[in-house]
Amino acid sequence: MNKLLIVMTLAIIGAVIFLVPPVKGMGEVAKIIFFHVPTAWVAVIAFFTGAFYAAKFLRTQDFSFDTLSARAAQIGFVFVLLSTISGAVFSKLTWGAYWNWDIRQTSIFILILIYGAYLTLRIAVNDEKIRAKVSAVYSLLSVLTVPFLVFILPRMYFSLHPAPVVNSSGKIEMDSIILIVLLAAVVDATLIFVKLLRR
Amino acid sequence: MKLSACRLAEQIAAILRKDFLIGIRRRATFAAMMFFALTTVACLSLSMGGVSLAPNFSAALLWLVIFFAACAGISGTFDDEANSGTLTTLKLYADIQAILFGKMIYVFLSLIMLAIFIVPIFVILFDVDVTSGGVLIATIFLGLIGLSAAGTLTAAITVSATVKGGLFSILLFPITLPIFLPAIALTETALTGTGFDADLLIVMTIFDAILITASSILFDYLD
């Protein structure tokens, strides 16, 4: 599994550097999108995975679920930071500013705040049992905000964020290369997440 | 332990009465919340030289003041019992849901008093024109319900934490964002009198209901 992941990751990096054509008018740096999209994806699934294991912990009181929930949050926190930074670089290239409180930027920032709050709560409680309980409760409470923010944010902030699939030019064959590499990168990042979670 | 609705209401009333008596006898928490709000408003107004602000700034500042003053006031909702070691005893005497709702109503009433105190001061110091008072009152009312529900559960979450002050606000802020963002937008429309979006009031109401339900379900697991 480890070797396969390393080969896959290297192959994707190779494909991004040599196979994918430069994005029109933005140059090579715009290829950061192949890093940004997968990290953002993992940041989001890690959030829901954490909440899922939190619910399982509360139902079963099995501490291995608490460990998984905490690990999902730790991985998610790293990935959300990576995604935010790479997104800001891409934003500078396309919109001319690192930050402008776009809907996606706002939501990812809220995700950083939730991860930060959750991890701070974990280090602030010493008793293992209480820590597991309170962090599971907080994890589930924070998930409740998601559907509301999805509804509210687009009403309050204007979005410039591109549609999920990057389109570099009108040519179909180019799009398909980009799409395949991007999807492969997303799968690769997901596998890395699963690997880190189950280590 | 299943209780009849009547018995539950009695217990909630008893907890509410107990907290009011403690609140009146030791006025420190309440006074701290009020003066925290006053200090923040005075600080903001002084630092800006008493200029009146654009409605969107006023709306955001008002909710910031309410949020942080509320944090100062309600973070220690369970501390009295936790410090004196009586929380376990209280759980023996009363149903756990009665404790939650008793505390939640107490927090809500304290926040209402906070709003009655600070909103007029804010309006005067920042020379704010309130065009639609009804919208403002409805927004504050719905906002404070959600803040009380989320705040009471967060206070229960942080009761065993070693760091409290900062932790409470960083935990509460992300989960109350679906209340704050519409509340700020609605407060702005209450000041300008234009662009009223009834959907946002509905969103706040639904989120309040969800927060109350979720608090009730999740509080059981904290036992």
Contacts of B180 in chain A (CB under 8 A): none
Q: Which of the residues A101, A142, A148, A149 would you substitute to probe the B interface, choosing the one with the greatest number of B C-beta atoms within 10 Å? A: A148
pLDDT tens digits along A7-20: 888 988 888 888 88
pLDDT at position B205 is 94
Helix, strand, coil content of chain B in percent (nearest 5): 85, 0, 15
- Sorting pLDDT into bands at 50, 70 and 90, what band is A171? very low
Q: A-contacting residues of B 107-166, CB under 8 Å?
A: 150, 153, 157-158, 160-163
pLDDT at position A167 is 47
pLDDT averaged over every residue in chain B: 88
Q: Determine the 3-state secondary structure of B195 from DSSP.
A: coil
pLDDT at position B68 is 92
Least confident of A73-77, A138-142, B23-27: B23-27
Q: Say yes or no to pLDDT of A195 above 60.
A: yes
Largest CA distance in chain A: 59
Contacts 24+ apart (CB under 8 A), B136-141: B136/B187, B136/B190, B136/B191, B138/B186, B138/B201, B139/B183, B139/B186, B139/B187, B139/B190, B139/B201, B139/B204, B140/B66, B140/B115, B140/B183, B140/B187
Supply the ipTM of this predicted assembly.
Answer: 0.87
Query: In this complex, which of A114, A125, A137 lies closest to B221 when CB atoms are compared?
Result: A137
pLDDT averaged over every residue in chain A: 86
pLDDT tens digits along A34-53: 899 999 999 999 999 999 99
pLDDT tens digits along B85-122: 777 777 777 788 888 999 999 999 999 999 999 999 99
Asked whether the beta carbons of residue B153 and residue A126 sit closer than 8 angstroms, the reply is: no
Least confident of A57-66, B111-120, B125-134: B125-134
- Sorting pLDDT into bands at 50, 70 and 90, what band is A172? very low
Contacts of A77 in chain B (CB under 8 A): none
Contacts of A137 in chain B (CB under 8 A): 153, 157, 218, 221-222
Asked whether the beta carbons of residue B153 and residue A127 sit closer than 8 angstroms, the reply is: no
Q: How close does chain A come to B111, measured CA to CA in Å?
A: 22
* CA–CA gap between residue B118 and residue B69 (Å, rounded): 10
**Paired tokens of A85:** 């930074």
Place of tokens 């403690």: B22
Q: Say yes or no to pLDDT of A27 above 60.
A: yes
The count of structural domains within chain B is 1
Domain around B147: 5-222
Please spell the DSSP secondary structure of A112-148, one letter per residue.
HHHHHHHHHHHHH---HHHHHHHHHHHHHHHHTHHHH
Contacts of B197 in chain A (CB under 8 A): 155
Q: Determine the 3-state secondary structure of A27 from DSSP.
A: strand
Mean pLDDT computed over B30-50: 88
Asked whether the beta carbons of residue B174 and residue A110 sit closer than 8 angstroms, the reply is: yes
pLDDT tens digits along B162-220: 887 789 999 999 999 989 999 999 999 999 888 888 888 998 999 999 999 999 999 98
Nearest chain B residue to A57 by CA distance is: B221
Query: In this complex, which of B167, B181, B214 lies closest to A144 when CB atoms are compared?
Result: B214
Asked whether the beta carbons of residue B162 and residue A126 sit closer than 8 angstroms, the reply is: yes
Mean pLDDT computed over A97-119: 89
A interface with B, Cβ–Cβ below 8 Å:
58, 110, 113-114, 116-117, 120-121, 124-127, 130, 133-134, 136-138, 140-142, 144-145, 148-149, 151-153, 155-156
pLDDT at position A159 is 67
* CA–CA gap between residue A139 and residue A152 (Å, rounded): 21
CB-based contacts of A129: which residues, under 8 Å, 6+ apart? none
